[in-house]
Amino acid sequence: MREFWKEHSKDATVEEMMLDSRAKELTQHELPEILSLLPCLTGSRVLELGAGIGRYTGSLLTLAGHVTAVDFMESFVERNRQDNGHHSNATFLQADVTKLDMPKNSIDFIFSNWLLMYLTDEELKSFAEKMMGWLRPGGFLFFRESCNHRSGDFKRGLNPTCYRTEAQYNHLMTSMEVDVQEGGQMFGFDIVLKKKVQTYVQMKNNQNQICWLLEKVPRSPGTQNGFNSFQQFLDNQQYSNRSILRYEKMFGAGYVSTGGPSTTKEFVTC
Ligand SMILES: C[S@@+](CC[C@H](N)C(=O)[O-])C[C@H]1O[C@@H](n2cnc3c(N)ncnc32)[C@H](O)[C@@H]1O
């Protein structure tokens, strides 16, 4: 992955960040869209991972109490420092996020925009557990990834990026449980929001840019109808294949509740 980013960090430009020739135009729409999805950051301690040249760092610094921006490419960290170093509440770190360490429960909000797809499955699993440890209970994790296939039009010789499906991220993030303090209290992530990035839908007809906002919550075994989380209950019982087939028998193909095609047609045409 370092080799990949060495090849794409020669100029430290917004085009390299987005690996797209239309980056300047795209970022104008994407930035406000993504920022509008974040929770209130007033006074909060923010960790921005894979910050690149700081496309988001400047805005996060104006919203939050403190921002630590991390990236492993020296030229990107330098450009971020040049552009945003005048903020007194910024720390810039050149580090590989998989080797990063932070005190437990010390962060209110973790932000990453296109980072997890540059980690292998094994790295991602242990990294997600680390992030859970760094966040305080009730803290939030925002991440946005290219799912299924690449989004940018830049030529890539070697491309080791891992384009996971939306379902893979859902499963990985909501199924893990971590005993952060090693005292028996388990924590997990609940999905607060999951959305397609509309800028990419509208400007590139690309439905595969997905972002998630997760909250770190305590888990008590078996509290959600015998499941550890509401998501697990939905995936394994409420909307298991068997249950969906049963719903469709009652409500019609493609429907899991009352309505059916005639009602849908009426709603969308009025
Ligand atoms: C597509 S860029 C996105 C940068 C920025 N978040 C943005 O949206 O403009 C991905 C960034 O992740 C960084 N990155 C990838 N793997 C990393 C790792 N293991 N540790 C730290 N940074 C990493 C790259 O150097 C690059 O700056």
Instruction: Compute, in angstroms, the gap from residue 188 CA to the centroid of ligand 1.
Output: 25
Domain that residue 44 falls in: 2-221
Instruction: Compute, in angstroms, the gap from residue 201 CA to the centroid of ligand 1.
Output: 22
Which amino acid appears at position 112 of this protein? S
Average pLDDT, the chain: 91
Contact criterion met (CB below 8 Å) for 217 and 190: yes
247 within a domain of the structure (yes/no) = no
Average pLDDT over residues 169-181: 91
Give nearest CA residue, ligand 1 atom 11: 50
Buried b (16+ CB within 10 A) or exposed e, 72-91: bbebbbbbbbeebeeeeebe
Instruction: Kindly state the tokens that stand for 149.
Output: 């296939």
Which residue among 1, 49, 71, 76 is best mutated to probe the pocket of ligand 1, counting the most ligand atoms within 8 A of its Cβ? 71
150 within a domain of the structure (yes/no) = yes
Q: How far apart are the C-alpha atoms of 79 and 243, rounded to whole Å?
A: 53
Residue 247 in this model has a pLDDT that exceeds 70: yes
Instruction: Compute, in angstroms, the gap from residue 183 CA to the centroid of ligand 1.
Output: 34
Instruction: Kindly state the tokens that stand for 198.
Output: 């509309």
Kindly list the protein residues whose Cβ atom lies closer than 6 A to any atom of ligand 1.
1, 5, 17, 50-52, 55-56, 71-73, 76, 96-98, 113-115, 118
Residue 156 in this model has a pLDDT that exceeds 80: no
Q: How far apart are the C-alpha atoms of 134 and 109, rounded to whole Å?
A: 9
240 within a domain of the structure (yes/no) = no
The predicted-structure confidence for 5-48, as pLDDT tens digits, reads as follows 788 778 888 888 888 889 999 999 999 999 999 999 999 999 99
Check the CA dihedral 148-158-204-77 and report its sign.
positive
Domain at 140, CATH number: 3.40.50.150
236 within a domain of the structure (yes/no) = no
User: At 48, is the secondary structure helix, strand, or coil?
Assistant: strand
What's the domain count of the chain? 1
226 within a domain of the structure (yes/no) = no
Instruction: Compute, in angstroms, the gap from residue 104 CA to the centroid of ligand 1.
Output: 23
